[in-house]
Amino acid sequence: MAAFTSHSFPRTTLVKSSPTPTHSSSSYRVKMSSSSGQALPPLPENRVVLGCGAVSVDFLAAVASYPKPDDKIRSTSAKVQGGGNAGNALTCAARLGLHPRLISKVADDSQGKGLLDELEADGVDSSFIVVSKGGNSPFTYIIVDDETKTRTCIHTPGYPPMIPDDLTNSKLLASLDGAKLVYFDGRLHETALVVAQEATRRGIPILIDAERKREGLDDLLSLSSYVICSKKFPQAWTDASSVPSALVSMLLKLPNIKFVIVTLGEDGCVMLERCVSENVQSEEVDIDDLLEILKQKKDTNTTIPICISSSVAKLCAKGIGTVSGRLLLGTAEKIPPSELVDTTGAGDAFIGAAVYAICANMPTEKMLPFAAQVAAIGCRALGARTGLPHRSNPQLMPFLQ
């Protein structure tokens, strides 16, 4: 994807991704080959996934260091492209070979048209996105600090907001037809709940991106099969004293959850996977102590993502309770400072890769390193979508085999 290099942001221009092969083309029906010549494994049998959530226009400006009040500075680089959690995650899933559909809302302005064009170019079905007459499409100003490698986001919601009546019953049913998985980013909560309830009636599993506490999120969580959280969410939602204890609390409060993952940036991620097997050792294991044991097993010399897993056990959180399951510690790639450009959308990339892994029935101990690698590749370019890898990327080959 070519970078937008002007220091002023045109109102109507979006940087479009290079079109990916049409999903119905023969190149997706047979084993594709990476540039290294190795044959890729077959794609998942059912590649249709549905997402419901945010899309926006991202106005990105990289600066040498974050400005002080009243400063006037110049950007070192700039870009205008599509963003939003759901839009980013499904773009990632599409580049990995899935057939994503997206429920969202934009206005009939030039920015909304650009968003739709960019999604379609990447293989995301935008036919379920509502286009309002008048109003404005959502947009976000993003300041990327080259010095600290952080990003600051200022979001302006779209208007008019999406309501359940925007999605006709026929569109709702069509969007879910044949879907393997439904993903929600926690936005558009009233519409999302209608979609989630219908998905539940059809027995379609649900994945929730729990970035932070939001209106209506609890209703979605109660219907979900999988949850991927930001670093602060588990403790904020449960009031537990530690992240591992919070994960136990979440599985106890949400009995339908198969696993919950908390992403920790450069520190990787932690997953608690429920186990319903009756062949679990009788002795309880303190989950905080167990995480420390897993951390001690990390090979500090390894730069690529790996996963360290406990055996199935009765995992206890003091003052909370006990669940039967496995605790898994995933590491992140150690990106050389000279290669790290922008962490915008890294969590969305991780989720997009997890969506692929679930559709591919990938074991969880393989899913965590795969998702971490996809996210790390994306951090090497400005913007949430610029660096998202395609399935044929040679760096993904070891994780897909």
Neighbour tally for 190: CB within 10 Å: 15
Mean pLDDT throughout 1-29? 35
Query: 241-275, pLDDT tens digit by residue?
Result: 999 999 999 999 999 999 999 999 999 999 999 99
Check if the beta carbon of residue 328 is closer than 8 Å to that of residue 270: yes
pTM to 2 decimals?
0.89
- Tell me the C-alpha distance between 330 and 369, whole Å: 6
Mean pLDDT throughout 327-331? 97
Alpha-carbon 293 to chain mean position: 28
Q: What is the pLDDT of residue 276?
A: 80
Mean pLDDT throughout 331-340? 95
Running DSSP on this structure, what letter comes out for residue 13? -
Confidence class of residue 370 from pLDDT cuts 50, 70 and 90? very high
Confidence class of residue 281 from pLDDT cuts 50, 70 and 90? low
- Tell me the C-alpha distance between 261 and 328, whole Å: 9
pLDDT of 354 above 70: yes
- Tell me the C-alpha distance between 316 and 390, whole Å: 40
Q: Which residues contact 70 (CB under 8 A, 6 or more apart)?
A: none
Q: What is the pLDDT of residue 41?
A: 86
Query: 48-72, pLDDT tens digit by residue?
Result: 999 999 999 999 999 999 999 999 9
Q: What is the pLDDT of residue 282?
A: 66
Share of the chain above pLDDT 70, in %: 89
Confidence class of residue 149 from pLDDT cuts 50, 70 and 90? confident
Confidence class of residue 40 from pLDDT cuts 50, 70 and 90? confident
pLDDT of 329 above 60: yes
pLDDT of 37 above 60: no
pLDDT of 25 above 70: no
Q: What is the pLDDT of residue 24?
A: 35
Q: What do you get for the CA distance between the two ends of the chain, in Å? A: 27
- Tell me the C-alpha distance between 362 and 179, whole Å: 18
Strands (E), 11-138: 48-52, 56-63, 77-83, 99-103, 105-107, 130-132
